[in-house]
Amino acid sequence: MAEQGNRAALISEIRQRFESEYASAKADKYDSRDLERLQQDDIWVENFLIWRHDVVDDTLKMIDESFQWRKEYAVHDLTESSLPKWVFETGVLYLHGYDKEGYKIFWFRVKLHTKDPKTQFERKKLAAFWLERYAKRENGKPLTVVFDMAETGISNIDLDFVRYIISCFKVYYPNYLTKIVIFELPWIMNAAFKLVKSWLGPEAVNLLKLTNKNEIQQYISAEYLPPYMGGTVSIS
């Protein structure tokens, strides 16, 4: 890991090279607000560097992929009114509570998710909406993700969507992930779980925490858990 002085030099190199090697040729693929922020926000650039172990070429590729996604999903302009009301009413994705280390929790209630190619883009935009809202408010403070798989059936399994959620943290919001807590992984998901681990990569695999009702309070206290997890909070 780079020392602080070296990190500053790397940040400067990232800015110069991204401008000359990427932005000049792909200006139409990026949002100008992201290009401006890249030049001004040291923490943002540093998070990309940290996630790519200070390897500049890898960091540039990651920023390129992230910026193209941000424009495709119009991340800067996502608001509650810009998304259909039903995506919020599903209760599939939301931010609520804190884990025992003080990190905000991003919940994915898998049993409420139904695989549907016609609505997939709106569902993905909802994830982007919550993550971008959090990122703007907290400016780099990481999140804990809970994959709540209680009562999950075949119809709820959507590997494309799961991979997208993982990509949000692997590529689009670097250095934002503290851990992924998986609650009650059903046996029908065992094979899929191996895929998920491969998508995360060898380092991020260490962030996976498989839990059940007896174990989840190692990570999250009862005040932020619903009753079926042994908690006291009512989440509608």
User: Bigger pLDDT: 1 or 186?
Assistant: 186
Segment (H or E) for 208: strand 208-211
What is the structure's pLDDT at 236?
A: 58
Q: What is the mean pLDDT of residues 108-136?
A: 95
Question: Rounded distance, CA 41 to CA 177, Å?
Answer: 19
What is the structure's pLDDT at 76?
A: 97
What is the structure's pLDDT at 3?
A: 66
Q: How many helices (H) and strands (E) does the chain have?
A: 9, 5
Whether 1 shows a pLDDT value over 60: the answer reads no
Q: What is the mean pLDDT of residues 34-51?
A: 95
Sign of CA dihedral 183, 47, 128, 78: positive
Residue 182, amino acid: I
Residue 35, amino acid: L
What is the structure's pLDDT at 83?
A: 97
- Look up the pTM and report it: 0.92
Residue 161 burial (10 A CB sphere; 0-12, 13-18, 19+)? buried
Q: What is the mean pLDDT of residues 74-82?
A: 97
Q: What is the mean pLDDT of residues 92-114?
A: 96
In order of their start, the domains of the chain are 4-72 (1.10.8), 85-226 (3.40.525.10)
What is the structure's pLDDT at 194?
A: 86
**Under 8 Å CB-to-CB from 41, ≥6 apart: which residues?**
none
Percent residues over pLDDT 70 in the chain? 97
Q: What is the mean pLDDT of residues 125-138?
A: 95
Whether 131 shows a pLDDT value over 80: the answer reads yes
- Are 38 and 18 spatial neighbours (Cβ–Cβ below 8 Å)? yes
Instruction: For residue 189, count other CB atoms closer than 10 A to its CB.
Output: 22
Percent residues over pLDDT 90 in the chain? 81
What is the structure's pLDDT at 58?
A: 97
Residue 3, amino acid: E
What's the maximum distance between 2 C-alpha atoms anywhere in the chain?
Answer: 54
Whether 4 shows a pLDDT value over 90: the answer reads no
Q: What is the mean pLDDT of the chain?
A: 93
Question: Rounded distance, CA 158 to CA 152, Å?
Answer: 11
Task: Report CA-CA distances (Å) from 168 to 92, 142, 171, 189.
Answer: 16, 13, 6, 21
Q: What is the mean pLDDT of residues 218-229?
A: 96
